[in-house]
Amino acid sequence: MLTGKKILLGVTGSIAAYKAAHLVRLLVKQSAEVKVIMTPSALDFVTPLTFSTLSKNPALSSFQATDTGTWNSHVELGLWADAFVIAPASANTIAHMAQGLCDNLLLASYLSARCPVIIAPAMDLDMLAHPATQTNLQTLQERSNHLIHTNKGELASGLHGDGRMAEPEEIVAWLDQFFHSKKKFSGKKALVTAGPTYEAIDPVRFIGNNSSGKMGFAIANALAEQGAQVDLVTGPTHERLHHPSVTIHAVVSADDMRDVCVKLFPAMDIAVLSAAVADYKPATKADQKIKKTDGPLVLELTRTPDIAAELGKVKKQGQVLVGFALETENERANAEKKLEAKNFDFIVLNSLNDHGAGFGTPTNKIEIISRHNGSTKFPLKSKAEVANDILQTISSSHG
Ligand code: C5P
């Protein structure tokens, strides 16, 4: 049952819009409160009257209420909802969402929504398979939107293939599971480190590395989705994450990252250290930009703090510490050495020799070595799936 759940339903211009009427009916039957927003092109397929009658709320399709001339506040709708379900989501609306365009009420509500967003696409098979659509769906998932996959079968065009919107019954079952399934990390506090660190040489230059932060952000997101309260300590990155259960601490250097981690760690149940922390920093930072000369420049480097080793030393009974090892040679032996030296419970090994694994890629191929429980190798997967594999491994041995 979805008793009392506030569902904002977005309906876009797809022939599957007629199924959205049945979806409203099912949601209301489950005692959910439903409000409907339609895109202008959805009006070509179904009428607001259908939705307002079924939901017992006005179905909105523009920024201005036609009868009163007042404003339909997209901000209020986004704050009101427990979940924003966009079903059917057309290729066009998906593309607009991925680009952050907001030229209608549904898109503006999407941009201002703080609740989970669930997308149920519906389109012809070639539109769905198009790399543009696939990239847009990937982007939206990386931004913590949920996807209810399409079904295969007969399409409105008469063609057969993938692209049918999930049936309304499937969408209701998905929501039921989403709201009621026991989350693996409910009540847990988790620290995640991500990205590179930058070690300043002078006011304009630094020593950095190729870490994108994607893996750490995927782990933070997966932990939050599984009910954890997450502190994400990240070096400079282009990654973004908006989740009510994630607090982001943006840092620059290894020293900054260490200070935040050392302060937060005592209160944590879990720490996953996926940051590519610099091992060395310039011994001194020049106050002014270093001028070039004809001769070579010699920089003296000193060690940065080993955050993982420091946390490993103060780790208490019950705390779980997970590290990463990105290796280019003697992968297994090096990873096992780090597992011991840093007092990790698990180490996630990824090799730069594996195609599709490591820095900047949307995918990763890992092996998880447990301190007490052997090791498991996983095939190449998206970083979101890899994050879930890591969490599954932690929860099955520390549940
Ligand atoms: O020693 P190495 O850098 O290969 O160890 C990798 C693991 O240790 C990763 O989990 C990384 O986040 C962590 N680490 C750290 N502080 C450092 C160096 C590495 O927390 N200074």
Q: Is the distance from the beta carbon of residue 120 to the nearest atom of ligand 1 less than 6 Å?
A: no
> Residue 1 domain-assigned?
no
Give the whole-angstrom CA distance, residue 274 versus residue 269.
Answer: 16
Model pTM greater than 0.75? no
Which pairs from 244-252 meet CB under 8 Å and 24+ separation? 244/114, 246/220, 246/221, 251/197, 252/197, 252/198, 252/200
Residues 145 and 202 in one domain: no
Q: How many CB atoms lie within 10 A of CB 49?
A: 9
What is the structure's pLDDT at 262? 98
Digitized pLDDT (tens) for each residue of the chain, 399 residues in all: 899 999 999 999 999 999 999 999 999 999 999 999 999 999 999 999 999 999 999 999 888 776 666 777 778 888 899 999 999 999 999 999 999 999 999 999 999 998 999 999 999 999 999 999 999 998 998 788 999 999 999 988 888 899 999 999 999 999 998 888 778 999 999 999 999 999 999 999 999 999 999 999 999 999 998 999 999 999 999 998 877 789 999 999 999 999 999 999 999 999 999 999 999 999 999 999 999 999 999 999 999 999 999 999 999 999 999 999 988 888 889 999 999 999 999 999 987 777 777 777 778 889 999 998 889 999 988 888 899 999 999 998 875
Residues 201 and 278 in one domain: yes
Q: Is the distance from the beta carbon of residue 306 to the nearest atom of ligand 1 less than 6 Å?
A: yes
CB 367 within 8 Å of CB 386: no
CB 218 within 8 Å of CB 192: no
Residues 168 and 253 in one domain: no
229 CA to centre of ligand 1 in angstroms: 23
- 209 catalytically annotated: yes
Residues 76 and 139 in one domain: yes
Residues 349 and 386 in one domain: yes
What is the structure's pLDDT at 141? 86
Give the whole-angstrom CA distance, residue 354 versus residue 309.
Answer: 27
Q: Is the distance from the beta carbon of residue 254 to the nearest atom of ligand 1 less than 6 Å?
A: yes
Domain end position, chosen among 160, 180, 200: 180
Q: Which atom of ligand 1 is nearest to the CA of 278?
A: 21
Alpha-carbon torsion (336, 374, 266, 249), positive or negative: positive
225 CA to centre of ligand 1 in angstroms: 25
> Residue 209 domain-assigned?
yes
Residues 152 and 287 in one domain: no
Pocket test for ligand 1, best of 265, 277, 337 (most atoms within 8 A of CB): 277
Q: Is the distance from the beta carbon of residue 82 to the nearest atom of ligand 1 less than 6 Å?
A: no
Could you tell me the CATH number of the domain that includes residue 20?
3.40.50.1950
Could you tell me the CATH number of the domain that includes residue 258?
3.40.50.10300
> Residue 233 domain-assigned?
yes
CB 8 within 8 Å of CB 81: yes
Residues 272 and 313 in one domain: yes
Q: Is the distance from the beta carbon of residue 307 to the nearest atom of ligand 1 less than 6 Å?
A: yes
Residues 211 and 338 in one domain: yes
C-alpha 96: how far from chain center = 19
Active-site entry in 209, 221, 353, 364: 209
Residues 307 and 345 in one domain: yes
Residues 210 and 175 in one domain: no
Nearest CA to ligand 1 atom 2: 325
Domains identified in the chain, total number: 2
> Residue 330 domain-assigned?
yes
What is the domain extent for residue 241?
A: 189-398
Residues 276 and 385 in one domain: yes
283 CA to centre of ligand 1 in angstroms: 20
Residues 120 and 174 in one domain: yes
Give the whole-angstrom CA distance, residue 17 versus residue 19.
Answer: 5
Domain end position, chosen among 180, 200, 234: 180
Q: Is the distance from the beta carbon of residue 310 to the nearest atom of ligand 1 less than 6 Å?
A: no
